[in-house]
Structure 1
Amino acid sequence: MDAEIAHRFLTPNEELQEPVREELHVNGSILTVRLTADDPGQLHMSITSCLGQLSLVIRTMQIIMPPFFTKPQQ
């Protein structure tokens, strides 16, 4: 469920303009993000942006759904 929420948030409403391509896949609780670009500078900016968005999703989910992010009791 967490990966699905992150996937919906990270999927752009409009496709990224070239030269950056983004692929998002969810398999169970695993979200896979693949960014590709011909220009290393564009790729770096896209990775930074994606990680920032993913961080925001995780922080928001921690506030909204705390039971899913609690540490296991030892």
Structure 2
Amino acid sequence: MIAFNTAAAGALNATRMFDRAATKVAQSAGSDMSTLLGAVVVQSEARTAFAANLAVMKTAEEMTGRLLDLKI
């Protein structure tokens, strides 16, 4: 369950990172293009981090299920 909890925390962190970047995108409308592009890159990184953490959560759940099947 440690892997699942760590991945869940990572997914939450990625969600927060995405939200902060989305706020920057909204606030930088009409201003510096580099700020806007940087925020879009951070959003992309956050999306990738979220997907990776979700994959870890799914794998941890599958492994736990298999371990329980072996015990029964």
Please classify the TM superposition score into its range, dividing by the shorter chain length: 0.3 to 0.5
Which one has the largest radius of gyration? 2
TM-score, normalised with respect to structure 1: 0.44
TM-score, normalised with respect to structure 2: 0.45
Between 1 and 2, higher relative CO (CA 8 Å, sep ≥ 6) is seen in: 2
